[in-house]
C-alpha cells in the first residue's frame, strides 16, 4: 500500500465502514454482531425501521390468518354456527373506545430521577383536573405527546390491540366522562378520559369470538394440522400455501385492530432496542460506526439480549442492506 493511502474497509454495512484497525482483536462472531448492530442503527438513523420489519410483520400477519382459519375449521367440524357465536358475542362484545389522554414522557429505561419527575408532573395535572380544570384544555397545555395541542389529547378511536395493554385496560373500565388514575406504560405516565364507547358490530368482531369459542371446544392447531396433512401432506411450504389459499377462498382476513397490534409489536421492539443500544435518528455514517462499536462493547445484560435478538434477525437486516465482512487479519 502506498504511503498515505487510506486503509481499505474490512467491514461495510451500506454507507458505514470499519477498517481492520478499528476491528483489531474482534472475532468473526463479534464482527458479524457489529455488522448487525450497524445495520439496525442505520434503519433507526433514517427512520426506516418500519420498512426493515415489514417482511416480519407480514409473516406475523400470515400466522394470525392461519390461526383464524384453524378456528373456522374447528367450528365447522363441531357444527357451531354463527347463531351460537352471535349469542355469545352479545354477552362479551368487543368495544371501540374514544379516549383523550395527557402524556408525560418517561420511558421505562429512563433513570429513576427522570421517571419520578414525570410522575410528579402527572400527579400535579391530576390535582388540577380534580379541582375542576377542563380536560381537553389541560391536555392541550400539558401533554407532551406530539400534536396534543391541536387535538387536545384526542386519540383516534381504538379497539383492543390498538394501544399498549396497560392503556387499554385503564380505558376499558371507565364510563364515558370518567377520568382514570395515573397510568404508567412503556412510554410514560398517562391520564385518560373516556369520551365514548361503542360495541363493535358482530360482523367485525366475529373472528375474535370464533377463536375464543373454538379454543373452548378443542385444540384448533390439531384440527388445522389434520386438514393440512390431507390437503398438502407434510411439506411446510405446501402446507402454508394451502392454508393461505383456503383462507382466501373463505374470505378470511386479519382484523385491522390486530394488524395494528402486530405492527406496534415491531415498533415496540425496535424502540426498546434503539433505546438500549443508544441509537438515534439522524446519526451520520461515522456516528453510526461509533455507536455500533459502543453497543458491541456494552456489557449490560439488556444489551447482550438485544445483540442476540438482532442475530436472530440477520436475514432481515441483510435483506435491506449490503453487508461485507472480511475475515480477521485480511
- In the numeric block, the cell 464482527 is attached to 31
Q: How many CB atoms lie within 10 A of CB 159?
A: 21
Q: Which of 50, 7, 12, 112 is nearest to 265 (CA)?
A: 50
> Could you tell me if 109 and 190 lie in one domain?
yes
152: left (phi over 0), alpha (psi -120 to 50) or beta: left
> Could you tell me if 182 and 106 lie in one domain?
yes
Task: Tell if the pTM clears 0.95, that is, is over it.
Answer: no
> Could you tell me if 235 and 87 lie in one domain?
yes
pLDDT in tens, the chain (330 residues): 445 556 788 999 999 999 999 998 899 999 999 999 999 999 999 999 999 999 999 999 999 999 999 999 999 999 999 999 999 999 999 999 999 999 999 977 778 899 999 999 999 999 999 999 999 999 999 999 878 789 999 999 998 888 889 999 999 999 999 999 999 998 899 999 999 999 999 998 999 999 999 999 999 999 999 999 999 999 999 999 999 999 999 999 998 888 988 998 898 899 889 989 999 999 999 999 999 999 999 999 989 999 999 999 999 999 988 899 876 655
Q: Is residue 274 part of a domain?
A: no
Q: Is residue 269 part of a domain?
A: no
Q: Is residue 276 part of a domain?
A: no
Q: How many CB atoms lie within 10 A of CB 178?
A: 11
> Could you tell me if 214 and 302 lie in one domain?
no
Range of the domain at 59: 53-91+201-258
User: What angle in degrees, to the nearest 10, is found between the helix axes of 112-130 and 135-142?
Assistant: 150
> Could you tell me if 69 and 218 lie in one domain?
yes
> Could you tell me if 206 and 241 lie in one domain?
yes
> Could you tell me if 101 and 189 lie in one domain?
yes
> Could you tell me if 106 and 158 lie in one domain?
yes
For residue 118, the domain's CATH number is 3.10.50.40
**The total number of structural domains that make up the chain:** 3
Q: Is residue 3 part of a domain?
A: no
- In the numeric block, the cell 386438514 is attached to 227
Q: How far is residue 142 CA from its own chain's centroid?
A: 27
> Could you tell me if 318 and 225 lie in one domain?
no
Amino acid at each position: 500500500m502506498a504511503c498515505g493511502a487510506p486503509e481499505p474497509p474490512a467491514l461495510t454495512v451500506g454507507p458505514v465502514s470499519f477498517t481492520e484497525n478499528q476491528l483489531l482483536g474482534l472475532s468473526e462472531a463479534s464482527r458479524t454482531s457489529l455488522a448487525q448492530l450497524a445495520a439496525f442503527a442505520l434503519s433507526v438513523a433514517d427512520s426506516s425501521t418500519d420498512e426493515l420489519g415489514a417482511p416480519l410483520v407480514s409473516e406475523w400477519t400470515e400466522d394470525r390468518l392461519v390461526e383464524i382459519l384453524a378456528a373456522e375449521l374447528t367450528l365447522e367440524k363441531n357444527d357451531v354456527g354463527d347463531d351460537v357465536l352471535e349469542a355469545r358475542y352479545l354477552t362479551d362484545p368487543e368495544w371501540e373506545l374514544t379516549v383523550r389522554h395527557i402524556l408525560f414522557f418517561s420511558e421505562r429505561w429512563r433513570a429513576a430521577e427522570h421517571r419520578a419527575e414525570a410522575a410528579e408532573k402527572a400527579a400535579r395535572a391530576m390535582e388540577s383536573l380534580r379541582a375542576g380544570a377542563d380536560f381537553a384544555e389541560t391536555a392541550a397545555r400539558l401533554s407532551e405527546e406530539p400534536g396534543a395541542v391541536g387535538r387536545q389529547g384526542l386519540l383516534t378511536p381504538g379497539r383492543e390491540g390498538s394501544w399498549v395493554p396497560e392503556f387499554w385496560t385503564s380505558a376499558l373500565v371507565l364510563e364515558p366522562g370518567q377520568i382514570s388514575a395515573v397510568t404508567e406504560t412503556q412510554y410514560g405516565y398517562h391520564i385518560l378520559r373516556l369520551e365514548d364507547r361503542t360495541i363493535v358490530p358482530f360482523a367485525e368482531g366475529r373472528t375474535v369470538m370464533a377463536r375464543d369459542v373454538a379454543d373452548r371446544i378443542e385444540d384448533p392447531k390439531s384440527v388445522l394440522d389434520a386438514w393440512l396433512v390431507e390437503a398438502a401432506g407434510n411439506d411446510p411450504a405446501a402446507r402454508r400455501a394451502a392454508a393461505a389459499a383456503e383462507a382466501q377462498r373463505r374470505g378470511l382476513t386479519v382484523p385491522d385492530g390486530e394488524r395494528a397490534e402486530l405492527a406496534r409489536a415491531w415498533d415496540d421492539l425496535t424502540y426498546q432496542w434503539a433505546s438500549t443500544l443508544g441509537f438515534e435518528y439522524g446519526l451520520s455514517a461515522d456516528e453510526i460506526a461509533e455507536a455500533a462499536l459502543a453497543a458491541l462493547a456494552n456489557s449490560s445484560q439488556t444489551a447482550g439480549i438485544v445483540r442476540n435478538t438482532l442475530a436472530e434477525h440477520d436475514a432481515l437486516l441483510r435483506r435491506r442492506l449490503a453487508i461485507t465482512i472480511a475475515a480477521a487479519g485480511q
